[in-house]
Chain A
Amino acid sequence: KQEVTQIPAALSVPEGENLVLNCSFTDSAIYNLQWFRQDPGKGLTSLLLIQSSQREQTSGRLNASLDKSSGRSTLYIAASQPGDSATYLCGGSGAGSYQLTFGKGTKLSVIP
């Protein structure tokens, strides 16, 4: 059964710092990987989707990459801002599946 680990579980950084969040899958055959943001008491907001033919995606200050040989993904946030404070979750699916398996998330706090 696929399991997803997100490291670190929590992270506190000063405003302006660049940071990296990590996500790893026990089964490295990840076909579709998505990074989400969750604010307290809210649903998940999709940030980036890495499709099967891709290795990375960028949106503004965010960059996500997927190493399919190891089943590891990173989310890079440049020049962090207090508004980036939230929990970040990764979810992945294997070939032939639409169902995502999720990690427990990384809670990010950006200190002004």
Chain B
Amino acid sequence: DGGITQSPKYLFRKEGQNVTLSCEQNLNHDAMYWYRQDPGQGLRLIYYSQIVNDFQKGDIAEGYSVSREKKESFPLTVTSAQKNPTAFYLCASSLLTGSYNSPLHFGNGTRLTVT
């Protein structure tokens, strides 16, 4: 079955360490996205990519970095510069249809805890 795989499900890190969250999709989708979800808040867009080797900042990109070397993969690195990294991170993907009517598909998320 096609889908989006995020790993690991839970991740624990010490403050000051960089950490990379994995996101892989086999839906042949063009676009991939990273969102952050905090309790009581809506999803906030961190980065998105519409094509390999290209990506754009979302609303809260500071302290994060991404790469898109393959169409299927869009890893997110949470750097030590991110002031409040503890959160639930969600990866999503969609087709680029040209008519902007494409449903968003999500992975099951990675819960990152930094102490």
Contact = CB atoms under 8 A, between A and B. Distances in A.
Interface of A: 4, 31-32, 34, 36, 41-46, 49, 51-52, 89, 91, 93, 95-105
Interface residues of B, number: 29
Interface of B: 4, 6, 31, 33, 35, 40-43, 45, 48, 50, 58, 90, 92, 94, 96, 99-109, 111
21 contacts: A4-B42, A32-B100, A41-B111, A42-B108, A43-B108, A44-B106, A46-B103, A46-B105, A52-B100, A52-B101, A89-B43, A91-B104, A95-B100, A98-B31, A98-B96, A99-B33, A99-B45, A101-B42, A102-B35, A102-B43, A104-B40
Contacts of B45: 99
A12 to B, nearest CB: 18
A109 B70 CA distance: 41
A98 B100 contact: yes
A104 B101 contact: no
Given A43-B4, A44-B92, A46-B106, 16 more contacts: A4-B42, A32-B100, A32-B101, A42-B108, A44-B43, A52-B99, A52-B100, A91-B43, A96-B100, A97-B100, A98-B31, A98-B100, A98-B102, A99-B58, A102-B42, A102-B43
A43 B42 contact: no
